[in-house]
Amino acid sequence: DAKTTQPPSMDCAEGRAANLPCNHSTISGNEYVYWYRQIHSQGPQYIIHGLKNNETNEMASLIITEDRKSSTLILPHATLRDTAVYYCIVSGTGTASKLTFGTGTRLQVTL
Amino acid sequence: NAGVTQTPKFRVLKTGQSMTLLCAQDMNHEYMYWYRQDPGMGLRLIHYSVGEGTTAKGEVPDGYNVSRLKKQNFLLGLESAAPSQTSVYFCASRPLVNSPLHFGNGTRLTVT
C-alpha cells in the first residue's frame, strides 16, 4: 500500500472552506484514497473515498488529480465541530490489503 | 444495530498480567482489525483477520496474540503485559477489502 504525506497542522476560520492536501505519489492503479477523521480520542470516522473520479457526499468533497499523485479533501463550510485530526490513506484491493494510518493533519477551526 | 463494540473501555494492569480485549461487530463483516494509538501518534496495525478462522500480523504484532473463532468476534490477547503496551486500542471492521472501516470507541489500557 502506498504511503501518504500530509501537513501536520492547518487552521481554518469557521464558515470558510477547509482544503486539506495529501500527497500519494507512489499510488498504483488499483489503490483507493480514503479520508478519515478523529475527534479527540474517539475512534476514527470515515469521511469519503475515491479511486480516480472526484467524489462528493454530505460531509465533504474529494478532489483527486488526474495523475492520482495527490488529492484534496474539502470541507465546504467548516464548523468548530470539524476540529479534528484528518487522515489520508491509500489502500489496495488485495485480500491482505490494509489501511495504514500516518500522523494526519490536525485541523483547528476557529471563530 | 450496535456496530463495533469494544470491551472493556478502560483497564489498568500490572506488569506481567494477562488480559483479553474483545471486539464484537453485528454487521456481518468479513474483515476485522486491531490498531493501537500512542499519544500524539497515528494508528498502528497490530493484527488483522480476513475471515473467520484466519489471522495475520500487522505492523506491530510482538507481544500480542489474536483469535477469530467466530465471524463476529475478534479477540486481542496480551499474555504478559509490559508498560510499553500502555495505549489506546481500536478495533475496526469492514465488509469488503475496498470498503470503509467502521471503528469501535477504543479501550484505554494502562500497564504499570
Residues B86-104: pLDDT tens digits?
A: 999 999 999 987 889 999 9
- Predicted confidence (pLDDT) at residue A2 exceeds the cutoff of 80: no
What's the whole-number mean pLDDT along residues A70-83? 97
pLDDT of residue B41: 82
pLDDT of residue B81: 96
pLDDT of residue A102: 83
CB contact under 8 A, A102 and B45: no
Chain A touched by B60 (CB under 8 Å): no
Chain centroid offset of residue A95 CA: 23
Q: CA dist B81 to A71, A106, B44, B78, Å? A: 40, 31, 18, 6
Joined grid coordinates for residue B9: 473501555
pLDDT of residue A96: 61
Check if the beta carbon of residue A47 is closer than 8 Å to that of residue A72. no
Tens of pLDDT, residue by residue over A81-95, are 999 999 999 987 765
**Angstrom distance (rounded) from CA B3 to CA A46:** 14
Nearest CA in chain B to A103: B42
Q: How many CA within 13 A on the CB side of residue B43?
A: 32
pLDDT of residue A95: 59
Residue B7 C-alpha, separation from nearest chain A C-alpha, in angstroms: 14
Tens of pLDDT, residue by residue over A5-20, are 999 999 999 999 999 9
Contacts of A90 (CB under 8 A, 6+ apart): A1, A2, A3, A4, A24, A27, A31, A32, A33, A34
CB contact under 8 A, B59 and A100: yes
pLDDT of residue A1: 62
Check if the beta carbon of residue A88 is closer than 8 Å to that of residue A10. no
Nearest CA in chain A to B99: A49
Chain B touched by A99 (CB under 8 Å): yes
Query: How many Cβ atoms sit within 10 Å of the Cβ of residue B49?
Result: 20
Tens of pLDDT, residue by residue over A23-70, are 999 898 888 999 999 998 899 999 999 999 899 999 999 999 999 999
Nearest CA in chain A to B87: A41
